[in-house]
Structure 1
Amino acid sequence: MRGETIIVVRRVQVGVDEGNNPVYETEQETVANVLVGSPNGENAADSNRPDGIQIDADLYFPRSYTGVPLRGQSVIVKGRKYRVVGDPFPVDGGMTPTDWNMTVPVTRSDG
Protein backbone atom coordinates (compact mmCIF):
# COMPACT_ATOMS: atom_id res chain seq x y z
CA MET A 1 0.00 0.00 0.00
CA ARG A 2 1.08 3.51 -0.67
CA GLY A 3 -0.56 6.65 0.67
CA GLU A 4 -1.18 10.08 -0.78
CA THR A 5 0.37 13.44 -0.05
CA ILE A 6 -1.86 15.84 1.89
CA ILE A 7 -1.39 19.28 3.41
CA VAL A 8 -1.91 20.14 7.09
CA VAL A 9 -3.03 23.77 7.50
CA ARG A 10 -2.37 25.29 10.92
CA ARG A 11 -3.44 28.59 12.46
CA VAL A 12 -0.62 30.05 14.50
CA GLN A 13 -0.76 33.17 16.62
CA VAL A 14 1.87 35.65 15.42
CA GLY A 15 1.12 38.50 17.80
CA VAL A 16 -1.63 40.84 18.95
CA ASP A 17 -3.19 43.92 17.41
CA GLU A 18 -3.65 47.38 18.96
CA GLY A 19 -6.69 46.16 20.87
CA ASN A 20 -4.72 43.22 22.32
CA ASN A 21 -6.64 40.74 20.14
CA PRO A 22 -4.67 37.78 18.80
CA VAL A 23 -3.47 37.94 15.20
CA TYR A 24 -3.22 34.62 13.33
CA GLU A 25 -1.54 33.41 10.16
CA THR A 26 -1.63 30.00 8.53
CA GLU A 27 1.25 27.63 7.96
CA GLN A 28 1.17 24.60 5.70
CA GLU A 29 2.99 21.31 6.12
CA THR A 30 3.06 18.59 3.47
CA VAL A 31 2.64 15.04 4.78
CA ALA A 32 3.39 12.13 2.47
CA ASN A 33 2.12 8.54 2.61
CA VAL A 34 -1.27 9.25 4.23
CA LEU A 35 -3.94 6.63 3.53
CA VAL A 36 -7.25 8.26 2.65
CA GLY A 37 -10.37 6.30 3.56
CA SER A 38 -13.49 6.46 1.42
CA PRO A 39 -15.54 9.51 2.34
CA ASN A 40 -19.18 9.06 3.16
CA GLY A 41 -21.61 11.79 2.26
CA GLU A 42 -24.99 12.32 3.77
CA ASN A 43 -27.55 15.07 3.80
CA ALA A 44 -27.08 17.62 6.54
CA ALA A 45 -29.63 17.15 9.30
CA ASP A 46 -30.06 20.90 9.73
CA SER A 47 -33.43 22.05 8.37
CA ASN A 48 -31.92 25.48 7.61
CA ARG A 49 -29.67 23.84 4.98
CA PRO A 50 -31.96 21.77 2.76
CA ASP A 51 -29.26 21.44 0.08
CA GLY A 52 -26.45 20.82 2.57
CA ILE A 53 -24.26 17.74 2.70
CA GLN A 54 -21.75 16.62 5.28
CA ILE A 55 -18.77 14.54 4.26
CA ASP A 56 -16.76 12.51 6.76
CA ALA A 57 -13.65 10.44 6.14
CA ASP A 58 -10.75 8.86 8.00
CA LEU A 59 -7.12 9.58 7.24
CA TYR A 60 -4.38 7.23 8.40
CA PHE A 61 -1.16 9.10 9.18
CA PRO A 62 2.23 7.40 8.90
CA ARG A 63 4.47 6.65 11.86
CA SER A 64 6.95 9.11 10.39
CA TYR A 65 4.60 12.07 11.10
CA THR A 66 6.25 14.26 13.75
CA GLY A 67 4.27 17.46 13.28
CA VAL A 68 2.29 19.29 15.93
CA PRO A 69 -0.91 17.79 17.35
CA LEU A 70 -3.77 17.89 14.85
CA ARG A 71 -6.51 19.08 17.21
CA GLY A 72 -8.26 22.11 15.71
CA GLN A 73 -6.29 21.95 12.46
CA SER A 74 -7.43 21.62 8.86
CA VAL A 75 -6.15 19.35 6.11
CA ILE A 76 -6.32 19.59 2.34
CA VAL A 77 -6.99 16.28 0.60
CA LYS A 78 -7.25 16.15 -3.19
CA GLY A 79 -7.79 19.91 -3.28
CA ARG A 80 -10.61 19.91 -0.71
CA LYS A 81 -10.30 21.37 2.78
CA TYR A 82 -11.46 19.27 5.73
CA ARG A 83 -11.54 19.98 9.46
CA VAL A 84 -9.94 17.54 11.91
CA VAL A 85 -12.44 16.11 14.41
CA GLY A 86 -11.32 15.60 18.00
CA ASP A 87 -7.74 15.16 19.18
CA PRO A 88 -6.11 12.29 17.25
CA PHE A 89 -3.02 10.67 18.73
CA PRO A 90 -0.65 7.92 17.58
CA VAL A 91 -1.19 4.42 18.93
CA ASP A 92 1.82 2.16 19.36
CA GLY A 93 1.17 -0.99 21.29
CA GLY A 94 4.60 -2.47 20.74
CA MET A 95 3.65 -4.05 17.42
CA THR A 96 4.48 -2.24 14.20
CA PRO A 97 2.99 -4.34 11.39
CA THR A 98 2.22 -1.35 9.12
CA ASP A 99 3.52 2.14 8.37
CA TRP A 100 0.42 3.87 9.82
CA ASN A 101 -0.42 4.38 13.47
CA MET A 102 -2.80 7.33 13.77
CA THR A 103 -6.40 7.54 12.59
CA VAL A 104 -7.51 11.11 11.93
CA PRO A 105 -11.25 11.64 11.43
CA VAL A 106 -12.07 14.64 9.23
CA THR A 107 -15.29 16.36 8.17
CA ARG A 108 -16.47 18.91 5.66
CA SER A 109 -19.86 20.56 5.14
CA ASP A 110 -21.08 21.94 1.84
CA GLY A 111 -24.25 23.86 1.07
Structure 2
Amino acid sequence: MPMAGIPTETVTVISRKTVYDDLHEPVSEAVAERDVDAVVAPGATADLDASRPEGATVAYTVHLPRDMAGIRLKGCSVRVRGEELRVVGDPRPYAPEACPGRWCYPVELEAADG
Protein backbone atom coordinates (compact mmCIF):
# COMPACT_ATOMS: atom_id res chain seq x y z
CA MET A 1 0.00 0.00 0.00
CA PRO A 2 1.62 3.28 -1.09
CA MET A 3 2.29 6.03 1.43
CA ALA A 4 0.57 9.36 0.82
CA GLY A 5 2.70 11.60 -1.37
CA ILE A 6 5.21 8.94 -2.42
CA PRO A 7 4.34 7.37 -5.77
CA THR A 8 5.29 3.72 -6.08
CA GLU A 9 5.24 1.19 -8.86
CA THR A 10 5.54 -2.56 -9.03
CA VAL A 11 8.97 -3.92 -9.95
CA THR A 12 10.01 -7.57 -10.21
CA VAL A 13 13.08 -8.85 -8.38
CA ILE A 14 14.57 -11.77 -10.34
CA SER A 15 17.08 -14.23 -8.92
CA ARG A 16 18.70 -16.98 -10.93
CA LYS A 17 20.56 -20.00 -9.66
CA THR A 18 22.39 -22.40 -11.95
CA VAL A 19 22.10 -26.09 -11.10
CA TYR A 20 25.23 -28.18 -11.83
CA ASP A 21 25.73 -31.92 -12.29
CA ASP A 22 28.45 -34.06 -10.63
CA LEU A 23 31.01 -32.92 -13.22
CA HIS A 24 30.15 -29.28 -12.48
CA GLU A 25 28.47 -28.81 -15.85
CA PRO A 26 25.40 -26.56 -15.88
CA VAL A 27 22.23 -28.60 -16.36
CA SER A 28 19.45 -26.11 -15.59
CA GLU A 29 18.64 -22.71 -14.20
CA ALA A 30 16.18 -22.03 -11.41
CA VAL A 31 14.50 -18.62 -11.70
CA ALA A 32 12.52 -16.99 -8.90
CA GLU A 33 10.54 -13.77 -9.41
CA ARG A 34 8.98 -11.58 -6.73
CA ASP A 35 6.79 -8.54 -7.40
CA VAL A 36 7.47 -5.65 -5.02
CA ASP A 37 6.15 -2.10 -4.67
CA ALA A 38 9.09 0.29 -4.89
CA VAL A 39 9.97 3.94 -5.30
CA VAL A 40 11.74 4.27 -8.67
CA ALA A 41 14.20 7.14 -9.21
CA PRO A 42 16.51 7.93 -12.11
CA GLY A 43 20.09 6.85 -11.52
CA ALA A 44 23.26 8.91 -11.64
CA THR A 45 24.74 9.88 -14.99
CA ALA A 46 28.38 9.47 -13.88
CA ASP A 47 29.17 7.10 -16.77
CA LEU A 48 28.20 9.63 -19.46
CA ASP A 49 31.43 10.95 -20.97
CA ALA A 50 33.14 11.34 -24.34
CA SER A 51 34.95 8.00 -24.09
CA ARG A 52 31.64 6.05 -24.15
CA PRO A 53 29.20 8.07 -26.29
CA GLU A 54 27.30 4.99 -27.48
CA GLY A 55 27.87 2.84 -24.38
CA ALA A 56 26.37 4.97 -21.66
CA THR A 57 24.90 3.22 -18.65
CA VAL A 58 21.13 3.56 -18.35
CA ALA A 59 20.36 3.35 -14.63
CA TYR A 60 17.66 3.57 -12.00
CA THR A 61 17.78 3.50 -8.25
CA VAL A 62 14.87 1.60 -6.76
CA HIS A 63 14.06 1.99 -3.09
CA LEU A 64 12.65 -1.29 -1.82
CA PRO A 65 10.55 -1.66 1.33
CA ARG A 66 11.96 -2.59 4.72
CA ASP A 67 10.71 -6.20 4.50
CA MET A 68 13.15 -6.83 1.61
CA ALA A 69 16.17 -5.84 3.72
CA GLY A 70 16.96 -9.44 4.69
CA ILE A 71 17.19 -10.61 1.06
CA ARG A 72 20.61 -10.55 -0.58
CA LEU A 73 20.37 -9.02 -4.06
CA LYS A 74 23.95 -9.51 -5.28
CA GLY A 75 23.81 -11.11 -8.74
CA CYS A 76 20.08 -10.48 -9.15
CA SER A 77 18.23 -8.33 -11.64
CA VAL A 78 15.12 -6.19 -11.41
CA ARG A 79 12.47 -5.62 -14.07
CA VAL A 80 11.50 -1.93 -14.12
CA ARG A 81 9.04 -0.53 -16.66
CA GLY A 82 9.46 -3.63 -18.82
CA GLU A 83 13.27 -3.54 -18.86
CA GLU A 84 15.42 -6.07 -16.99
CA LEU A 85 18.40 -4.38 -15.34
CA ARG A 86 21.33 -5.78 -13.35
CA VAL A 87 21.78 -5.02 -9.65
CA VAL A 88 25.02 -3.09 -9.07
CA GLY A 89 27.24 -4.61 -6.40
CA ASP A 90 25.86 -5.98 -3.14
CA PRO A 91 23.26 -3.45 -1.88
CA ARG A 92 22.65 -2.90 1.82
CA PRO A 93 19.67 -1.25 3.54
CA TYR A 94 19.93 1.89 5.61
CA ALA A 95 20.19 1.40 9.36
CA PRO A 96 16.66 1.37 10.86
CA GLU A 97 17.35 4.42 13.02
CA ALA A 98 18.53 6.38 9.94
CA CYS A 99 15.44 5.63 7.88
CA PRO A 100 12.16 5.77 9.78
CA GLY A 101 10.09 5.34 6.60
CA ARG A 102 9.26 2.19 4.66
CA TRP A 103 11.63 2.64 1.68
CA CYS A 104 14.97 1.91 3.37
CA TYR A 105 16.68 -0.38 0.83
CA PRO A 106 18.25 1.56 -2.08
CA VAL A 107 19.30 -0.65 -5.00
CA GLU A 108 21.19 0.72 -8.00
CA LEU A 109 20.41 -0.88 -11.37
CA GLU A 110 22.35 -0.76 -14.64
CA ALA A 111 22.10 -1.77 -18.26
CA ALA A 112 25.26 -1.13 -20.27
CA ASP A 113 24.98 -0.62 -24.02
CA GLY A 114 28.27 -1.04 -25.82
Q: Residues of 1 paired with 2:11 and 2:92: CA distance?
A: 18
Residue in 1 that maps onto 2:11: 6
Distance 1:86 1:80, change over 3 A: same
Q: Which has the higher helix share?
A: 2
Contact 2:58 2:110 in 1 (8 A): yes
Q: Residues of 2 paired with 1:44 and 1:11: CA distance?
A: 34
Shift of 1:16: 1.9
Deviates more, 1:26-35 or 1:67-76: 26-35
Residue in 1 that maps onto 2:86: 83
Shift of 1:67: 6.4
Residue in 2 that maps onto 1:29: 33
5+ unaligned residues in a row in structure 2: which ranges?
A: 1-5
- Please list the CA deviations of residues 4-52 of structure 1 after superposition, one character each: whole Å capped at 9, or x if unmatched: 11111211133327x4323341423233221111245636834xxx633
Match runs of 1:1-111 below 5 Å: 1-16=6-21, 19-39=23-43, 42=48, 45-46=51-52, 51-65=54-68, 68-94=71-97, 96-111=99-114
Shift of 1:53: 2.9
Identity of aligned residues (%): 33
Shift of 1:2: 3.3
Would you say how many aligned residue pairs link Structure 1 and Structure 2? 107
RMSD: 2.6
Contact 1:43 1:52 in 2 (8 A): no
Compute the TM-score of the two structures, normalised by the length of structure 2.
0.74
Distance 1:26 1:75, change over 3 A: farther
Q: Which has the higher strand share?
A: 1
Distance 1:3 1:80, change over 3 A: same
Q: Residues of 2 paired with 1:78 and 1:15: CA distance?
A: 32
